[in-house]
């Protein structure tokens, strides 16, 4: 949760370098610079970029990877569900390998 929260806070401050630092190597290969990463976040993850509320739900661990649900209320008050995937790194840290975002059921 700390990795996800730290990245979301950095995104909210428009601190691309810090937000990018929490992305797994596979994500960093796709978006090779922090500004490219932030442009993708602003375009595709508006609910994360400008959220009112960010609440952690259920987490599961399988094969060393973590799947973490997050309940998000965006700036307009719309409800979203995010499923983050985190991968362990050689240094023991967890990095975000993906995020699937969808409107909350019934929203």
Q: What is the full per-residue pLDDT of the chain (107 aa) written as tens digits?
A: 999 999 999 999 999 999 999 999 999 999 999 999 999 999 999 999 999 999 999 999 998 899 999 999 999 999 999 999 999 999 999 999 999 999 998 64
Could you give the CA distance from residue 80 to residue 101 in angstroms, rounded to a whole number? 7
Could you give the CA distance from residue 97 to residue 100 in angstroms, rounded to a whole number? 10
Tell me the backbone φ, ψ of residue 72, rounded to 5 degrees. -125, 140
Asked whether 38 and 46 are in contact (CB, 8 A), the reply is: no
Which of 72, 59, 63, 64 shows the shortest CA–CA distance to 1?
A: 59
| CA quadruple 42, 81, 8, 14: dihedral, nearest 10 | 20
pLDDT of residue 81: 97
- Helix, strand, coil tally for the chain in percent (to 5): 35, 40, 25
pLDDT of residue 105: 81
Entry pTM: 0.92
pLDDT of residue 106: 63
């Amino acid at each position: 949760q700390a990795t996800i929260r730290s990245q979301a806070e950095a995104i909210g401050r428009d601190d691309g370098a810090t937000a990018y630092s929490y992305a797994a190597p596979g994500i960093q290969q796709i978006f090779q610079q922090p500004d490219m990463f932030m442009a993708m976040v602003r375009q595709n993850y508006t609910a994360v970029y400008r959220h009112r509320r960010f609440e952690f739900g259920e987490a599961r661990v399988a094969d060393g990877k973590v799947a973490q649900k997050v309940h998000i209320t965006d700036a307009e008050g719309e409800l979203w569900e995010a499923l983050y995937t985190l991968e362990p790194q050689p240094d023991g840290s967890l990095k975000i390998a993906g995020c699937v975002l969808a409107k909350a059921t019934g929203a």
